[in-house]
Every structure is written in structure tokens, then in C-alpha cells.
Amino acid sequence: MKILIFHTYNQGYLSSFFHELSVKLIQKGCKVVGFSWKASVSEQYIDGVKIIVTKKKGYITNYRKVYRIIKKEKPDVVLSNFSYVNPALLFGRLLGVKKNMV
């Protein structure tokens, strides 16, 4: 099962929760990808979790990025947090994601 998690990747408690959840899911045999918007751009693996960080811009550009990442990764489950909710639900539905969770 492939899971795509949209959250803000930083040193906060909520980010730590999502990272620990991702590591536990990987240990159970799932593939997990984390996506975040920040001021810098990077793609890295941390504890087996693929973390994609892109630069936050305007609404249209951000929606396009969410669409592209869902289309590229083809997840079975999308878990989204805060500002990612609307585009993740919309494009998850349009692209046939089995489970969308907020």
C-alpha cells in the first residue's frame, strides 16, 4: 500500500507525529511519501521515508503541484493536514485515490 502524507515538515510536535507514523507504516510494509511546502526545495530519504519539499507560491501553482504529486506517486491513501486539505481532497477524488483522510 502506498501512502502520501501532506504536512508541514519542520521540528514541531505535529511534524514529529507524522514522521513517526510514517516510520511505523514503513515497518509494516507500506510505502510512504511525505510532501511539504517550505522556502527551500529538497527531496530526501529520512528513516526510509521519502520527503519531498517544494517552494510555496500562489494558489494555482500550489494546487498544480499537489495534482502532480498525487498523479506521479499514485497513492492508495492520501492523508492531508491543514492548508493541503482542499487540493488533496479534490485531486485525490479526481485521480481515483481509494481513501482520502483529513
Give CA separation, 61 vs 23, 55, 82, in Å.
30, 10, 17
pLDDT in tens, the chain (102 residues): 999 999 888 888 888 999 999 999 999 999 999 999 887 898 999 898 999 999 988 889 999 999 999 999 999 999 998 777 889 999 999 999 999 988
The reported pLDDT for the residue numbered 59 is 87
Fold of 2-101: Rossmann fold (3.40.50)
- What are the beta bridge partners of residue 50? 33, 45
The reported pLDDT for the residue numbered 10 is 80
The reported pLDDT for the residue numbered 30 is 94
Can you give the pTM of this predicted structure?
0.89
